[in-house]
Chains A and B, each alone.
Chain A
Amino acid sequence: MAMLEIEGLNGWYGASHVLHGVSFAVEPGEIVALVGRNGAGKTSIIRSIMGLMPRTTGAIRFDGEDISRLKAHDRYVRGLAYVPEERRIVRGLTVLENLQLGLVADRKRIDEAAAIDEIARSFPRLKERLHQEGVTMSGGEQQMLAIARAMIARPKMILLDEPSEGIMPVLVEEMGALFRRLREEGTTLLLVEQNVEWALKLADRAVIVDQGEIVYRSDAATLLADKDIQERYCAV
């Protein structure tokens, strides 16, 4: 059974029809890269999966359950986490408080202190800054915090929107290692990326979206080797 299965997804912003019959699946414990040009509809797909699009039709099944009518908060509680492109570190809250936000809806009775310790081990940069206001950190550190906040409640799947955008190369590499480790631990990842080469090196499979439609599916390695397809659908 697929972890995430999308079938015939259509989405609208007001009168603007932006997603046209999108269908694809993500298997448990794999990384799928969702790539395409700017404005192709990648973020709209990820927002639809999370329940943030104003209007959608079609089926979204997560871990065997149809979640298409559920509100965003219920999707998180079922194990679907989301790291938005803008990171959305909450102003006025410390790094620790931002991490705690990931646990406020926890129903698995996760031990908060143990969870924070675990995060601090995975993100040594955050450990040093637990009592600093989150938004005062660098862009890369904020991205790490956003990912850590999404991970802390041990979700089954994480949706990541442009995690490498505007980040120093050394941090992008660290992030890649983290995603590989998460996959080994059984977490499923859907990665929306503009940095196509980096995403394809990480991912197991790739899906290309263009003008709100899925136009290509393959193994990540196959797409990585096919520069023509990359040029046609992903070139800026």
Chain B
Amino acid sequence: MTVQLIAMQLFSGLALGAVLIMVALGLSIIFGMLGIVNFAHGALFMVGAYAGLYVAGLTGSFWWALLIAPVMIGLFGMLIERFLIRPLYGRSPDDPLLLTFGLGYVLVEAVRILFGTDGIPFSTPAALRGVVNLGIGFFPLYRLFVIGVVVAVLLLLWIGLEKTKFGLIVRAGSADPLIMRVLGVDISRLWLVVFGIGVGITALGGVLAAPMRNVSPEMGTLVLAEAFVVTVIGGMGSLPGAVIAGLIVGVSVSMTSLFAPEMATIVMFALMALILLVRPNGLYGRAAPGL
């Protein structure tokens, strides 16, 4: 086994982690701000991939799919928040959890009816096919592109949260919704937008993941489990936590599959158990915000 092989596997882990980060970010934004554990998140990732497939089929362009599908599914997420989740605010935290759990199944079944049960290939755009020589070996160009998009999204999120008035409202609203209400902020409208952004980011993850695997109604199930592991390791509601944990999980899974492929899925759960033993709230964890 060469150093080059290990380095390449490490890089693969980063690409895997990048997709996980997108899903975990969406989960963390929604949990950190609204206090909702969104069990429909994996299904929305899958719906994002199908929306990408649909838009790409319609326009013949992957690039349009990458732009339009996350916006479409983000708006769909806003409808879910407005009409299904909002009536449950102020009730038991189990209610939105059960609702999103059921919604996940409804979405999967709806996609099966609309697109069939078989996986559909999503071809890599021509401009992103092929490999790149990184000096340590050849690496698929598309995976590099995925890492680049995730870095760009993280940068935009950071600027949006830290450098804009909207970001200030989101940070304050997530720490103390009540004070924002008495300072003139319509907190329900803010939650609507935040939910839409969280879902849109996840849908973008779905479109990005689509060329790396078949698009199928079940593709969200494993991703949801992985994203939960990432958010739990990072600390529920923590955005930096989601990023760091996404990378840790991606690289761990990738490296384990090199040395002991049969352990690749188990390793992230073992990692989660280990981290929770040392830090029960995760790496950057904090208590859930009040509604």
Contacts and interface: CB of A to CB of B under 8 A. Distances in A.
Interface in B193-234: none
Which of A52, A71, A88, A101 has the largest number of chain B CB atoms within 10 A?
Answer: A101
Contact of B175 (A73, A76, A84, A90): A90
Given A93-B171, A100-B168, A101-B172, A149 B183 contact: yes
B98 interface: no
B168 A104 contact: yes
A72 B179 contact: no
Given A71-B181, A71-B186, A73-B186, A104 B176 contact: no
Interface residues of B, number: 17
A82 interface: yes
Contacts, number: 64
B33 to A, nearest CB: 14
Interface of A is mostly: loop
Contacts of B175: 90-93
A92 B170 CA distance: 12
Given A73-B187, A104-B165, A82 B172 contact: no
Interface in A80-105: 81-82, 84, 88, 90-93, 97, 100-102, 104-105
Contacts of B185: 73, 104-105
Contacts of A91: 175-176
Contacts of A104: 165, 168-169, 183-185
Interface in B150-192: 165, 168-169, 171-172, 175-176, 178-187
B168 A97 contact: yes
Contact of B171 (A52, A84, A88, A92): A92
A105 B171 contact: no
Contacts of A50: 182
Contacts of B186: 71, 73
Contacts of A93: 168, 171-172, 175
A76 B182 contact: yes
A82 B168 contact: no
Contacts of B168: 93, 97, 100-101, 104
A90 B179 contact: yes
B187 to A, nearest CB: 7
Which of A72, A100, A102, A106 has the largest number of chain B CB atoms within 10 A?
Answer: A72
A92 B180 CA distance: 15
Which of A92, A104, A149, A153 has the largest number of chain B CB atoms within 10 A?
Answer: A104
Interface of A: 50, 52, 71-73, 76-77, 81-82, 84, 88, 90-93, 97, 100-102, 104-106, 149, 153
5 closest A-B pairs by beta carbon, nearest first, are A105-B184, A76-B184, A88-B179, A72-B181, A82-B182
Given A88-B178, A100-B168, 19 more contacts: A50-B182, A71-B186, A72-B181, A73-B185, A73-B186, A76-B183, A76-B184, A90-B175, A91-B176, A93-B168, A93-B175, A101-B172, A101-B179, A101-B180, A104-B165, A104-B168, A104-B183, A104-B184, A104-B185
